[in-house]
């Protein structure tokens, strides 16, 4: 199963923290599933962000707003909003994948148990058949120690 992955920039925007915070958390080992991609840079699993105590779609602080100058402020906010939506979508997909995997696991367990029930029903039918009970009755009359 593929986990949703965000770039450091997307993760920072989605969690309302700086890219430096994400980098420091990754370097500290708080994001163990992070992998480096040649094209996109560091990719952070959404599950790692949540496990590290970061909240997705957390409001960005004033420091994040001051990073983009007055000219690029609106573009920065739009980029953050897009990253937050992507993170939310990735988290939803990941949750759906987990639910589907769990459902498949439960279906497999149910099938195995249904097979056991079928075998038990067959054994019970044999045990309750007249021929089987007659054999049991004859066996119970055999004295102990003689075969």
User: Mean pLDDT highest for which of 6-15, 27-36, 58-67, 70-79?
Assistant: 27-36
d(CA 77, CA 7): 17
For the whole prediction, is pTM greater than 0.75? no
Helix (H) or strand (E) holding 64: helix 62-67
- Answer yes or no: are the C-beta atoms of 44 and 6 closer than 8 Å: yes
What are the tens digits of pLDDT across the range 2-32?
567 889 998 888 888 999 999 999 999 999 9
């Amino acid at each position: 199963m593929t986990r949703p992955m965000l770039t450091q920039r997307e993760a920072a925007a989605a969690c309302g923290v700086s890219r430096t915070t994400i980098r420091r958390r990754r370097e500290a080992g708080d994001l163990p599933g992070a992998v480096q991609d040649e094209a996109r840079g560091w990719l952070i699993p959404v599950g790692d962000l949540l496990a590290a105590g970061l909240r997705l779609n957390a409001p960005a602080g004033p420091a994040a707003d001051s990073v983009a100058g007055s000219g690029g402020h609106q573009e920065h906010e739009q980029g953050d909003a897009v990253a937050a939506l992507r993170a939310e979508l990735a988290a939803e997909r990941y949750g759906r994948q987990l639910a589907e995997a769990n459902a498949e696991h439960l279906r497999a367990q149910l099938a195995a148990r249904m097979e056991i029930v079928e075998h038990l029903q067959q054994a019970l039918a044999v045990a309750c058949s007249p021929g089987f009970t007659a054999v049991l009755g004859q066996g119970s009359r055999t004295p102990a120690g003689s075969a």
